[in-house]
Amino acid sequence: MTLHIAGAGMAGLCAAVRARELGLDVVVHEKGDRAGGSMLLSSCVVWRYRDLDTFREQCPGGDADLQQEVVERVDDGLEWLRGLGAEVVWEETGNPLTVGLRFDPRSLTDALVRAAGELRFGEGLPDDAEQLLLATGGFQGDRGLVSEHIHPGGALLHRANPWSAGDGLRYALGRGAALSSGLDEFYGRAMPAGPAVVREDEFVSLAQLYGRHALVLDDRGDEFAPDPISWSETDLVQAIAQRPNATAWYLVDEEALEVDIRGRTVREMVEAAREAGGEVLLANELGIEIPSAYRYAVHVVAGITHTIGGVCIDRQARVLRDDGSPIEGLYAAGADAGGIATGGYASGLASALVFGRNAAETAAQA
Ligand SMILES: Cc1cc2nc3c(=O)[nH]c(=O)nc-3n(C[C@H](O)[C@H](O)[C@H](O)COP(=O)(O)OP(=O)(O)OC[C@H]3O[C@@H](n4cnc5c(N)ncnc54)[C@H](O)[C@@H]3O)c2cc1C
């Protein structure tokens, strides 16, 4: 029996490698012209919360069974990736809430591709596959689906591979799949707003990660932000998406400029935004009453990296109907599988690793 996999990103490649280890024939269909999907563009930190309680606290709307599966199975998956020859660049995440590894994304992609077998580029979902894994990476690339589910106040900056546009979701719905929680949520970053030009190799370096240290105003000058802003700032980025034009101004004072966030100072992030052509004003040029301590105002737009909602799966990565029964021969993993991080943020690479491998193991028993 052949397992067909749609998508040669993190979930699809992990599934392909695991399925081949288990003796299955595998064909990977990749819509784009390269392997790696968004994984190749990512910071490549594959992590989990320290324990299930922390996961539940941080992502309270997520499915507890799927969260438990991630907590229990990621560590084994990380060692498996290392064993395939993927280069580890950090042994820890530097965040007391989480544990994990940071890989070099090129090395991780290459290690998986070497072991994944046949990859067919320029191919979408195969017709009439008896065993099919949907690993197409979410629906952030489809403006229509994003408007329908996320209702942004303006165009979001698309901070992901160009091909993940909801194909897996549409296909699964056509086969009777249930939708998960969190369809209006997404993981993203505040990015320099237009006229800045953000290339895909700058998705990491141009992220503006200091909303917690800023006064946040919308384009009308109204202050807003979740209180408190979470450590990942995903909640803030989602809030920016809802404001007019999906943009905001981050105002920072001298003290904030010297804060170090994941190895970069706020000043360096502001400079990067300016160099990319973004609007970085002296705070008093904004033309509104604000305390004089604020030095710069940086215009940011909500960048969408991947959707958090998707199709419902179980721990074996089987796609479920509304009544909870599995659809025979249909699996989903990665950002196509939703409802794991609802209400917060969790590593998309980790769930792609765990449920990609689980899908292969389930298919091997079919
Ligand atoms: C800048 C950036 C930084 C990030 N940093 C991190 C991080 O540090 N840690 C973390 O956990 N996550 C991070 N992420 C998110 C992470 O990359 C994703 O969560 C992860 O790649 C999801 O895996 P996936 O397999 O679902 O999607 P992808 O890895 O994107 O793979 C999906 C694949 O499916 C293909 N595809 C789409 N449609 C079809 C179709 N119809 N048929 C066939 N193929 C199709 C796409 O071309 C793509 O190759 C980051 C992402 C970006 C962009």
List, for residues 155-206, the tens digit of each pLDDT value: 999 999 999 999 999 999 999 999 999 999 999 999 999 899 999 999 999 9
287, pLDDT greater than 90: no
DSSP letter string, 127-178: TT-SEEEE-S--STT-HHHHHHHH--SSPPEE-S-TT-SSHHHHHHHHTTPP
The best mutation among 119, 145, 164 to test binding of ligand 1, ranked by most ligand atoms within 8 Å of the C-beta, falls on 164
278, pLDDT greater than 90: yes
99, pLDDT greater than 90: yes
The pTM of the full predicted model, rounded to 2 decimals, is 0.97
> Which atom of ligand 1 is nearest to 29's Cα?
43
As a whole number, mean pLDDT of residues 229-234 equals: 96
- Among 32, 14, 6, smallest CA distance to 352 is for 14
What pLDDT, on the 0 to 100 scale, is given for residue 14? Answer: 98
Residue count (the chain): 366
As a whole number, mean pLDDT of residues 326-339 equals: 98
- Give residues with Cβ within 8 angstroms of 324, minimum separation 6: none
Residue pair 270/280 in contact by the 8 Å Cβ criterion: yes
Residue pair 21/113 in contact by the 8 Å Cβ criterion: no
The owner of tokens 């028993």 is 365
- Among 345, 364, 309, smallest CA distance to 168 is for 309
Write down the mean pLDDT value for the chain: 97
CB atoms within 10 A of CB 25: 13
CA of residue 133 to ligand 1 center, whole Å: 15
What pLDDT, on the 0 to 100 scale, is given for residue 198? Answer: 97
Beta bridge partner(s), residue 103 = 88
Residue 314's identity, in one-letter code, is D
Q: What is the pLDDT of residues 4-23, one digit of tens each?
A: 999 999 999 999 999 999 99
As a whole number, mean pLDDT of residues 260-283 equals: 96
Chain-centroid distance, C-alpha 141 = 12
The whole-angstrom separation of Cα 183 and Cα 310 is: 6
Structure tokens at 347: 């590593």
- Among 281, 272, 361, 269, smallest CA distance to 314 is for 361
227, pLDDT greater than 90: yes
Residue pair 296/252 in contact by the 8 Å Cβ criterion: yes
What pLDDT, on the 0 to 100 scale, is given for residue 101? Answer: 98
From its phi and psi, is residue 316 left (phi > 0), alpha (psi between -120 and 50) or beta?
alpha
What pLDDT, on the 0 to 100 scale, is given for residue 265? Answer: 97
Q: What angle do CA 343, 345, 346 make, to 5 degrees?
A: 125
CA of residue 10 to ligand 1 center, whole Å: 6
At 143, is the pLDDT very low, low, confident or very high (cuts 50, 70, 90)? very high
Whether 310 is in the pocket of ligand 1, judged by its Cβ within 6 Å, is no
At 288, is the pLDDT very low, low, confident or very high (cuts 50, 70, 90)? confident
DSSP 8-state code for residue 223? B
What pLDDT, on the 0 to 100 scale, is given for residue 270? Answer: 97
Q: What is the pLDDT of residues 196-207, one digit of tens each?
A: 999 999 999 999
Residue pair 359/331 in contact by the 8 Å Cβ criterion: yes
- Atom 21 in ligand 1: residue holding the nearest Cα: 39
328, pLDDT greater than 90: yes
76, pLDDT greater than 90: yes
What pLDDT, on the 0 to 100 scale, is given for residue 291? Answer: 81
As a whole number, mean pLDDT of residues 120-125 equals: 96
Percent of the chain residues past pLDDT 70, beyond the cut: 100
Q: Is the dihedral of CA 167, 185, 243, 286 positive or negative?
A: negative
As a whole number, mean pLDDT of residues 127-143 equals: 96
- Atom 29 in ligand 1: residue holding the nearest Cα: 9
At 292, is the pLDDT very low, low, confident or very high (cuts 50, 70, 90)? confident
CA of residue 296 to ligand 1 center, whole Å: 34
105, pLDDT greater than 90: yes
Q: What is the pLDDT of residues 15-55, one digit of tens each?
A: 999 999 999 999 999 999 999 999 999 999 999 999 999 99
- Among 271, 281, 289, 297, smallest CA distance to 214 is for 297
Beta bridge partner(s), residue 86 = none
What pLDDT, on the 0 to 100 scale, is given for residue 24? Answer: 97
What pLDDT, on the 0 to 100 scale, is given for residue 289? Answer: 84
The best mutation among 104, 142, 306 to test binding of ligand 1, ranked by most ligand atoms within 8 Å of the C-beta, falls on 306
At 58, is the pLDDT very low, low, confident or very high (cuts 50, 70, 90)? very high
300, with CB counted inside 10 A (0-12, 13-18, 19+), is buried
As a whole number, mean pLDDT of residues 293-302 equals: 96
